[in-house]
Amino acid sequence: MAHILVTGGAGYVGAVVTARLQQAGHSATVVDNLSTGHRAAVSGARLVEADLEDDAALEGIFSAESFAGVVHFASHCRVEESIVHPVKYFRDNVGGSLKLFDAMLRHGVKALVFSSSCAVYGEPSQVPITEDQPLDPINPYGESKLFVERILKAYQRAYGMRSVSLRYFNACGAAVDGRLGESHHPETHLIPLVLRAAADGDYALTLFGNDYPTPDGTCVRDYIHVEDLATAHLAALKRLLEGMGREVYNIGTGNGLSVRQIIESAQRVTGSRVRHTVGPRRDGDPPVLVADASRAKSALGWTPRYSDPATILGTAWNWFRNPRY
C-alpha cells in the first residue's frame, strides 16, 4: 500500500479518486487551492491548501512526507473560458505542472498519473478515436493538456519520470454512495443543467445546436461515470507502482450519446420534463467525440461498470437532490 499525493483532490474527479484510493488501502495527501474544489469533499486525507505555483508550499509538502507517486488533477477545465482567458490555462495548467514536476524530481518521486483529456484530439478525423490519431487541439484547454503530455514524454527520456496519461472523455455521474459529486460554480456541463431543468420548471436548458452531422442533429459525446474514471486511475497507479513506463490511454466507454438522448434519459430517470430551447452552436464543440478505449481495457484490465445512461443519470440525480457541498 502506498502514500500518494493527489493534486486537485478536492475537485469533482479528484475527490472520488482520493476516496477510492483510501478504500483500496492507500493513504493520500491532497494539495488543492480550493478555487473550484471543496474542503468538504476531502475526508481521511491531509488537505494542504496551496497553489501548485507556490514553490515553498510544494517544497514543504515533499519534505514533510514521502510519496510513492502523484495523481495530478489540478487544472482549470472549461473549454470556453480557455478561449477567452488562455493565460490561465497556459500559466496554471502548464506552469503549475512544471512546478509540480520540479518538486517531484528534487525529491526523487518519479511516478505520475496525469488527468488528460480527449480535447487533445481536437476535431478527430475518425471516430471512435484511438490514441494514435493526430493530436490537434482546437482550444487552449486542450493545448494545455497536450503540452503537459509532451513534457512528460521528454521528462521520461531525460529524467526517468514514469507516467500514465488518462485522456478522459466526458466525466459525469456521482459517487454511488451519494457522498461525492459535481458542484461547479458556474455550472456549464450538460448533465447537471439537464437535471436543473427537470427540477425547476422555470429553467430551460439551451441546447447548443441541432444541425450537426449526427443522427439527431445534436452533439454526440462519450459519457464516462466518475466511478469508472476512479477505477482507471487505480489501475494506472498499480502499473506505475509495478515499474511501468510512459503510457497514454483513452478513458471512455466507446458508446456515444447525443444531447437529445441525455435529455430523454433524464426525463425517464426523473419522471419530469426537461424544458429546453435550441440555441446556436457553442464555439469549439466538435460534433462527435467517442473513444476507442480498447487499449485501456486490455492493458489496464479496466472495464466501465457504471457508465450506462440510467446509472449516470440516476447517481447524478441523487446528488442533485442531496448535494453534500
Catalytic positions, written as ranges: 141
Is residue 184 a contact point for ligand UFG (CB under 6 A)?
no
Coil, helix or strand at residue 238:
helix
Which residue in 110, 167, 221, 233 binds ligand UFG (CB under 6 A)? 221
The whole-angstrom separation of Cα 114 and Cα 72 is: 5
Cβ atoms 319, 178 nearer than 8 A = yes
| Half-sphere exposure in the Cβ direction for 188 (13 Å, CA) | 8
Q: How far apart are CB 80 and ligand UFG at their closest, in Å?
A: 8
Q: Is 312 one of the binding residues for ligand UFG (CB under 6 A)?
A: no
Query: Of residues 133-152, which lie at the interface with ligand UFG (CB under 6 A)?
Result: 141
Does 131 participate in binding ligand UFG (rule CB under 6 A)? no
Contact predicate 52/100, CB 8 Å: yes
Q: Which stretch binds ligand UFG (CB under 6 A): 57-65, 84-92, 156-164, 202-210?
A: 202-210
**Using CB under 6 A, which of the segments 25-33, 89-97, 111-119, 309-317 binds ligand UFG?**
111-119
Tell whether residue 305 is a contact of ligand UFG (CB under 6 A): no
58 near ligand UFG, rule: CB under 6 A: no
Q: Over the range 91-119, which residues count as b (16 or more CB within 10 Å of their CB) and which as e?
A: ebbbebbebbbebbeebebbbbbbbbbbb
Q: What is the 3-state secondary structure (H, E, C) of 264-309?
A: HHHHHHHCCCCCEEEECCCCCCCCEECECCHHHHHHHCCCCCCCCH
Nearer to ligand UFG, 214 or 294 (CB): 214
Task: Name the β-bridge partners of 32.
Answer: 49
Please answer whether residues 112 and 152 qualify as being in contact, where contact means their C-beta atoms are separated by less than 8 angstroms.
yes
Q: Return the C-alpha cell found at 318.
A: 441523487
Shortest distance, position 250 Cβ to ligand UFG, whole Å: 12
Q: How far apart are CA 251 and CA 23, in angstroms?
A: 22
Name the one range near ligand UFG by CB under 6 A: 42-50, 98-106, 115-123, 293-301. 115-123
**Distance between CA atoms of 226 and 251, rounded to whole angstroms?**
11
The answer to whether 172 and 230 have CB atoms below 8 angstroms apart is: no
C-alpha to C-alpha distance for 216 and 167, rounded to whole angstroms: 26
Supply the minimum distance, in Å, between the C-beta of residue 258 and ligand UFG: 8
Nearer to ligand UFG, 3 or 282 (CB): 282
Nearer to ligand UFG, 107 or 276 (CB): 276
Q: Which residue's CB comes closest to ligand UFG?
A: 219
- Choosing from 16, 41, 57, 119, the residue that interacts with ligand UFG (CB under 6 A) is 119
Query: Using CB under 6 A, which of 21, 77, 104, 146 touches ligand UFG?
Result: 77
Of 125, 188, 303, 322, the one binding ligand UFG by CB under 6 A: 188
User: What is the binding site for ligand UFG (CB under 6 A)?
Assistant: 77, 79, 117-119, 141, 170, 188-190, 193, 205-208, 219, 221, 259, 282, 285, 289
